């Protein structure tokens, strides 16, 4: 069987551009999750599904592995099962029977460049965020406080419990408990200081 594996990093990205020119695919496995994680349901299912003499077809190297070591481990694990792995963009194919040293070298080099490009992109992103924070610090102050603590105190003084306060204010009970705990801790500290 020819089995396709397609992956994009987020749920709003589209898988349609991957492997459109591969009409002879028997089964497709997909993930909409970052490649940084090896814990991908589609990848796990694909690895379990494949049998000897199957071929895994992947759009490009970066769609399969999160880094060089991961990519090589996946390819070697599949090859050990007798499954070939074909990368369409790079025009590379790896199988147990055809252990071409030049192809292996290309795999290492291309994976290294793909990882280097990802690292450069992350560094540029971090620089851009740092520059934006320095230029517009008001945009990077975190989420504004949305809980009216005075109202929690008032409702508590009226005898309402945490669940009732949360329901009335339409906030999570954990937020109410957290505020009440902070208030209790502050009160205890004040009592210790005065005694």
3-state secondary structure of 42: helix
9 in catalytic set: yes
Out of 9, 60, 146, 195, pick the active-site residue. 9
Bridge partners, residue 4, by sequence: 28, 57
Let me know: does 92 contact 86? Beta carbons within 8 Å.
yes
Residues in the chain: 195
Bridge partners, residue 92, by sequence: 87
Distance (Å, whole) CA 31 – CA 95? 24
Helical H segments across 1-57, by residue range:
41-49
End-to-end Cα, the chain, rounded Å: 79
Bridge partners, residue 2, by sequence: 55
For the record, the structure tokens of 158 come out as 């009226």
> What are the two backbone dihedrals, phi and then psi, of residue 159, each rounded to the nearest 5 degrees?
100, 5
Active site residues: 9
């Amino acid at each position: 069987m020819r089995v396709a594996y397609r992956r994009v990093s987020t749920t709003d990205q589209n898988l349609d551009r991957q492997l459109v020119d591969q009409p002879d695919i028997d089964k497709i496995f997909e993930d909409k999750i970052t490649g940084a994680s090896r814990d991908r349901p589609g990848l796990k299912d694909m690895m379990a599904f494949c049998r000897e003499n199957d071929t895994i077809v992947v759009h490009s190297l970066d769609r399969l592995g999160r880094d060089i070591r991961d990519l090589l481990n996946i390819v070697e694990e599949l090859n050990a099962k007798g499954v070939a792995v074909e990368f369409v963009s790079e025009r590379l194919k790896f199988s147990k029977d055809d252990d071409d040293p030049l192809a292996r070298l290309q795999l290492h080099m291309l994976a290294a460049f793909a990882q280097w490009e990802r690292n450069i992109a992350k560094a540029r992103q971090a620089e851009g965020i740092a520059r934006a924070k320095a230029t517009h610090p008001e945009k990077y102050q975190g989420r504004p406080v949305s809980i009216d603590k005075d109202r929690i105190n008032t409702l508590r003084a009226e005898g309402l419990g945490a669940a009732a306060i949360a329901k009335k204010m339409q906030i999570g009970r954990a937020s109410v408990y957290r505020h009440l705990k902070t208030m209790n801790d502050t009160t205890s500290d004040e009592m210790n200081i005065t005694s």
